[in-house]
Structure 1
Amino acid sequence: MSSPLPAARARPASYDAVLAHAWTVEEFTATDVIQGTGLSRPTAIEAMEALARIGLLHELPDARQGGDYRRGRPARRFALRGDAAVLVGVDAGNVHVTATVTDLRSRALATHRTILEMDRDDPSARRTLIQGTVDAALQDAGRTRSDVLAVCVGVPAPVNAAGRSPRHPAGFWERMNPGLIDALSWAPLRRVDNDASLSAVAEGAIGAAQGCRDYVTLLAGARLGAGVVVDGNVLRGTHGGVGEMVAFDHVTGVGTADGLGARAEAWAVEAVATGAAATSALAALPRDRLDGRAVLELAAGGDEHARAIVDRLGDVLARVVSVLGSMFDPQLVVVSGAISAGIADVVAAARASLPTDLDLPAPELVASQLGTDVVVTGAIAAAAADARAHALDVWGADHVPQ
């Protein structure tokens, strides 16, 4: 059994510096640490050995054994022990739950998905299902809850800094986030956050917003939701309500917070029902396949009626982007989520419709390349950030796998 580290207030700062360096490189020597952190050689070596003793680092074969030795005494080489613990990212949507387990370097080990009956799950059942999906993903990865260092769950609701959602007039937010921060108390580091905010984390980490400090990520499938980043910080608000789109109920030309996918489906169903799309391939689709994705696919294939719906979506998106631009002054707006896979034509139509008489320059508008799992990707990135910041605060003798 390994010895625990000193408490956060007592441990040397060199431990944190060396671990932070280890997370950024595949392997390193004391010389690398000295150059990267400014620590002295004895201090660097002592910290490296201490972190290896508790299982966060492991010592690699020296340069002679690794076949890279030329002359002189071979340097000791260390690396972050990626399998020392796992991270869990969860997208707990309205109709689906996806949980992904990764190692400490965010390399995926397993993913498990569960489909829900929309609007029929009570809070207790939903909480149990989310926990069960996490446990199934851990089992698929050959791990258990005791191996988890950090978990992050994204939900379609406002979430405050404490991981709790405010009351909703119809109870929707409480049902989407049924005390999850308490249900996850078994995890040393846990976070519950808004799904659109986590999509913004994902886009900033590995997506279209890398290197950008002012941007908005727009989840636009079933409902509009925005993750807002200003000066490099994800905005939250008192109740977690930054990015809630109910205000668009009062914006002419937008009218509701319905997402682009939901609008495309509704307009296609209406066109088929009224006979307006009688000559379109839309009319030949069974009702259960007449959804937003089908509209976008047919539009890309040249269907005239589907193309008209895409143009309408572009007008709506342009208005949404204009309002977001005037409110938050972003450099970039990224359309993310499942709808983003076929949204290129809508984005192009929106760019052509963006007003030219705004007081501020219109933001750049792009489609995400991260696909359906953007929220899970953001949840893993958030869990990894928590792990990097607090691993040494929670790591102890009982946590290190043997």
Structure 2
Amino acid sequence: MRDPARQQSGDASLLRRLNSAAVLRVLREAGVATLSELARATRVSRPTAEVIVDDLIAEGWAEECGERGERQRGRPAKRFRFRASAGHVVGVGIGGSTLRAMVSDLGGDIVATHRALNHASMPAAERIDAIVELVSIAAAQAGLAVSELAAVGVGTTGVVDGGGRVVKSVVLPGWSGFDLQGELGRRLPAPVLVENDMRLAVLAEHWRGEARGHQDVVYLFAGDRLGLGLLIGGRPHRGAHAAAGEIGRQSGDHWQAFRHLTDYAMAAEPGELRTHRQVAEFAVSRAQEGDEAAAKAVEAFASHLGEGLLTLVNPLDPELVVIGGGLSRAGGLVVGPIQAFFDDRCLYPPKVVASSLGGECVTLGAVRWALDHAEQALFM
């Protein structure tokens, strides 16, 4: 039988932790608050709120931020805020040619960035070494040891299961079946979370990009490859096998849209061999300079993308379609034809926009993913 006194003490300790988390959450959301405002928002007495805030200040989670009068007379009320610099996370994006890392404080402000080269033929063990070094250097640039990080979020291509294992990857050889989260967790003295790059990209759009305020979004990545991220009800959609958004093989040739750009590039400069991303950049650049043949190739490419996306857009009924990756820089050249295609074929055409996040979308999404983990640990 449990000791009633011990149980009562445990209950009181739990209540203090819950009240402390509630006060901290209000400070985090409000930005600045007085003791009276904190007491009202958390439904505790003002003396209790004062004790909690004193403890949070002592622990480094809150700080006094000057005084501003609440009343016309008398002593002005003290005001407090969440101390975002009390903790930091790192987001890592594993791209086909680049590894990116961003260090963020708990307020989401990026305080350090670092990049390293990556290539598809790099052995998995070497890529792990490069990621570990990348995180260490980025943390050091922010004046931190890796052990001080609240979380490390990592975005990678491929089907990623709930445990952070890469079930299948067709882009990075040796990556399929690799326990990326487990291996990085053994090498980095901080909590590590691994997720599919396209799910993190759409998360970044919802946090800092064009999808802010939208709950149902289709994100199309168009670079050296095509990828999809789905936001449903404000959350990245994983699917039954964590494969939501994986394009795979489609019936017909909907996802061979790059051939329009390749044909143009080969006709314009027959001796040059280019990747999908390079032919897209070449054609878009020529189109922006007034080349009519290039403009027609880009329009055909965009219309082809719209045709492929239609199989998702009609049944999902999203509010927004975001075009990301390198092709987002083409702006209206790509967005316009897709929007026109949807306007003609959809009962409720979604708005089509170009991403403003560029190549940083996956890394930013990894930062948001790590912040979500840190906040859950902090406020629960």
TM-score normalised by the chain length of structure 1: 0.82
Structure 1 263/105 Cα, relative in aligned 2: closer, same or farther at 3 Å? farther
Distance 2:255 2:91 in 1: 33
Query: Where in structure 2 are there 5+ consecutive unaligned residues?
Result: 1-10
Structure 2 partner of 1:336:
324
Structure 2 partner of 1:365:
352
Structure 2 partner of 1:124:
125
2:242 to 240, 243, 246: 240
Q: Does 1:211 align with 2:207?
A: no
Segment of structure 1 superposing worse, 313-322 or 170-179: 170-179
CA contact (8 A) 2:101 2:114 kept: yes
Q: Deviations over 1:116-166 (max 9, x none)?
A: 23x221111111111111111112222111221122111111212222221
Over aligned residue pairs, what C-alpha RMSD do you find? 3.0
Matched residue SS, 1:24: helix
Identity of aligned residues (%): 29
Give the structure, 1 or 2, with the largest relative contact order (CA under 8 Å, sep 6 or more): 1
Distance 1:126 1:264 in 2: 34
CA contact (8 A) 2:158 2:170 kept: no
1:353 to 338, 341, 359: 341
The CA deviation at 1:287 is 6.3
Matched residue SS, 1:91: strand
Matched residue SS, 2:249: helix
Distance 1:12 1:215 in 2: 37
The CA deviation at 1:198 is 0.9
Structure 1 352/201 Cα, relative in aligned 2: closer, same or farther at 3 Å? same
Structure 1 partner of 2:283:
295
Distance 2:241 2:87 in 1: 32
Structure holding more helix per residue: 2
Q: Does 1:270 align with 2:272?
A: no
CA contact (8 A) 2:87 2:106 kept: yes
Segment of structure 1 superposing worse, 288-297 or 324-333: 288-297
The CA deviation at 1:238 is 3.5
Q: Which amino acid aligns with 2:157?
A: P
Structure 1 partner of 2:160:
159
Structure 1 204/365 Cα, relative in aligned 2: closer, same or farther at 3 Å? same
Matched residue SS, 2:29: coil
Q: Deviations over 1:181-237 (max 9, x none)?
A: 441354544321111111111111122111211111111112211111112221112
CA contact (8 A) 1:87 1:148 kept: yes
Structure 1 115/170 Cα, relative in aligned 2: closer, same or farther at 3 Å? closer
Structure 2 partner of 1:17:
22
Distance 1:71 1:255 in 2: 69
The CA deviation at 1:171 is 6.8
Q: Which amino acid aligns with 2:266?
A: E
Query: Where in structure 1 are there 5+ consecutive unaligned residues?
Result: 1-5, 275-282, 394-402
CA contact (8 A) 1:15 1:47 kept: yes
The CA deviation at 1:10 is 6.5
Distance 2:286 2:12 in 1: 60
Structure 2 partner of 1:319:
307
Distance 1:321 1:70 in 2: 60
Q: Which amino acid aligns with 2:268?
A: V
TM-score normalised by the chain length of structure 2: 0.86
Matched residue SS, 1:196: helix
Structure 1 partner of 2:137:
136
CA contact (8 A) 1:158 1:173 kept: no
The CA deviation at 1:75 is 2.2
Q: Which amino acid aligns with 1:165?
A: V
Distance 2:245 2:44 in 1: 43
Q: Deviations over 1:287-332 (max 9, x none)?
A: 6995322321221221122112211211212112201113422121
Distance 1:92 1:154 in 2: 6
